[in-house]
Chains A and B, each alone.
Chain A
Amino acid sequence: KNEVEQSPQNLTAQEGEFITINCSYSVGISALHWLQQHPGGGIVSLFMLSSGKKKHGRLIATINIQEKHSSLHITASHPRDSAVYICASVPLGGATNKLIFGTGTLLAVQP
């Protein structure tokens, strides 16, 4: 059974700090998503990656397929980055791209 685990569950940072959120999964995947959810809000897809590294603004996502591990980094964090960050894997061999979700990391960035 594929399981997705995130760490930490909760994270508090000061504005400007470099932040790392980790995600590990137990079986082979074809892709991994990083999602962002603001309190009471909808879910937005930040990245989808199947290898290597992707960057968008202050956000960087990396994945190591062999180690079954991915990280989301936020550089120069800002209070507007406060949200729940969720990783979700797409298992290999699925007939359709059903995601398996981690439980999320609640990030609070204080000014």
Chain B
Amino acid sequence: NAGVTQTPKFQVLKTGQSMTLQCAQDMNHNSMYWYRQDPGMGLRLIYYSASEGTTDKGEVPNGYNVSRLNKREFSLRLESAAPSQTSVYFCASSTKRYRGEGTNYGYTFGSGTRLTVV
């Protein structure tokens, strides 16, 4: 099925451990994003990649790194996990198409990764 695939779905880490969250899309989208979702807060952008070969910081980049491996794949790495990084992480991808009624930002989310850091 076409869409955004994230792995793993669940992960428990000890403080100081590292891990990489994987994301791949097969919709030929140019832009990809990593968000985190915390209770009582809207989703917040960690990093994004407007196109293959480029990455930029979002609202909450500290403690994370990203790699846009190719057009399909965008990974998020936690080098030294901290309890404050306990969250649900979503990868997303988008395109930008112009139609008669205006700009259409086709936007697709992955199913999320629930990360707990103890």
* A77-111 interface code vs B (CB 8 A; 1 in, 0 out): 00000000010101000011111111110000000
B102 within 8 A of A: yes
B108 within 8 A of A: yes
The contact size tier of chain A is 20 to 34
Known: A43-B90, A44-B109, A48-B104. A97 touches B40 (CB 8 A): no
A75 within 8 A of B: no
Contact, CB under 8 Å: A102 / B42? yes
Known: A4-B42, A45-B108. A98 touches B103 (CB 8 A): no
- Using a Cβ cutoff of 8 Å, how many contacts connect chains A and B? 64
Q: Give min CB distance, B28 to chain A, whole Å.
A: 16
Contact, CB under 8 Å: B43 / A101? yes
Chain B residue at minimum C-beta to C-beta distance from A96: B50
Our pick among B42, B45, B48, B92 for the contact of A86 (Cβ within 8 Å) is B42
Known: A50-B101, A50-B102, A90-B105. A98 touches B58 (CB 8 A): yes
Q: Give min CB distance, B52 to chain A, whole Å.
A: 13
Question: Chain B contacts of A101 at CB under 8 A?
Answer: 42-44
* A8-51 interface code vs B (CB 8 A; 1 in, 0 out): 00000000000000000000001101010000011111001011
15 contacts between A and B (CB under 8 A): A30-B103, A31-B104, A31-B105, A41-B111, A41-B112, A43-B90, A43-B112, A44-B109, A48-B105, A50-B102, A50-B103, A86-B42, A88-B42, A99-B107, A104-B42
Which of B's residues lie within 8 Å of A, judged by CB? 31, 33, 40-45, 48, 50, 58, 90, 92, 94, 96, 101-112
Question: 4 additional contacts, CB 8 Å, given A31-B103, A42-B109?
Answer: A50-B102, A96-B50, A97-B107, A99-B43
Which of A's residues lie within 8 Å of B, judged by CB? 4, 30-31, 33, 35, 41-45, 48, 50-51, 86, 88, 90, 95-104
